[in-house]
Amino acid sequence: GQQLNQSPQSMFIQEGEDVSMNCTSSSIFNTWLWYKQDPGEGPVLLIALYKAGELTSNGRLTAQFGITRKDSFLNISASIPSDVGIYFCAGPLGDKVIFGPGTSLSVIP
Amino acid sequence: EPEVTQTPSHQVTQMGQEVILRCVPISNHLYFYWYRQILGQKVEFLVSFYNNEISEKSEIFDDQFSVERPDGSNFTLKIRSTKLEDSAMYFCASSGGRLNTEAFFGQGTRLTVV
């Protein structure tokens, strides 16, 4: 079935560094969503993208909707310890939202 | 800020028992969902619910599962005859429009089957 792929699977970075992660699909999506999940909690929506080529920021986070509509990128600038968590990309497919496997981010103070 | 609320936060049940997980979606939302996340794995879709009926369900959502919106605010997931492998975090979510974008999630119920 349809699936989303994310890379890298995990990242270990120093506090203050910039982070980049991406999400790809074999199918076209009309919307890309990026969520963050802290341990033991539900996913929290960070950014929603609706248009191919769109670049949207939310504080230190920037996400882009790929021109091909088959990928999206999330960048985090000047990482801080509270950025630790799992970042999921997601997209609507029929009457559901499907999720990628996630990128686990660890920030070393 | 409106939020999705789930109860209980933790549920321990014996294998073979039935459990009901409860959710109060955001009040003006139209689509409701249940997702499951086994420890360390990705968030998996179970079912979506619109206009008082199931609009889509995954292969996971077999006859063991059912959903209900018994009144204007609650949305429940019933799991009959629980199995060990049903142990997971169960998340409820809701979204506002037909395009199913921007789903907002509850904090989850951690179900442990022993």
Tell me the mean pLDDT per 10 residues along chain A, length 109: 88 96 93 93 93 95 95 97 96 87 94
d(CA B98, CA B74): 20
| pLDDT value, residue B54 | 94
Q: Tell me: the pLDDT tens digits for B19-33?
A: 999 999 998 898 999
- Count the alpha carbons within 13 Å of B78 in the hemisphere toward its beta carbon: 10
* Residue scoring higher pLDDT (B2 or A70): A70
Residue A42's identity, in one-letter code, is G
What is the pLDDT, as a whole number, of residue B79? 98
For chain B, list residues whose CB is within 8 angstroms of any CB belonging to chain A: 4, 31, 33, 35, 41-45, 48, 50, 55-56, 58, 91, 93, 95, 99-108, 110
Q: SS3 of B11, please?
A: strand
Chain B closest-CA separation from residue A14 CA (Å): 23
Region B7-27: what's the mean pLDDT? 96
Report the pLDDT value the prediction gives residue B72, as an integer from 0 to 100: 77
Strand partners, A19: A76
Dump pLDDT digits (tens) for A45-70: 999 999 999 999 999 999 999 999 99
- Tell whether the model's pLDDT for residue B100 goes beyond 60: no
pLDDT value of position B84: 97
The predicted model gives B64-89 an average pLDDT of: 94
Q: According to the model, what pLDDT value does residue A93 have? A: 83
3-class SS of residue B105: strand
B101–A102 C-beta distance less than 8 A: no
A60: helix, strand or coil: coil
What is the per-residue pLDDT for B40?
86
The conformation of residue B64, written as its DSSP 8-state character, comes to T
Residue matched to tokens 């999921």? A88
- Predicted confidence (pLDDT) at residue B97 exceeds the cutoff of 80: no
B72/A5 Cα distance (integer angstroms): 37
Please list every residue in chain A whose beta carbon sits closer than 8 Å to the beta carbon of residue B53. none
Q: Scan residues 77-106 of A and list those with Cβ closer than 8 Å to B.
A: 88, 90, 92, 94-102
Per-residue pLDDT band for B96 (boundaries 50, 70, 90) equals: confident
**Closest CA of chain A from B6, distance in Å:** 10
Check pLDDT > 80 for residue B99.
no
Residue B77 scores a pLDDT above 90: yes
What local confidence, expressed as pLDDT, does residue A97 receive? Answer: 87
Label residue B71 by pLDDT band (50, 70, 90): confident
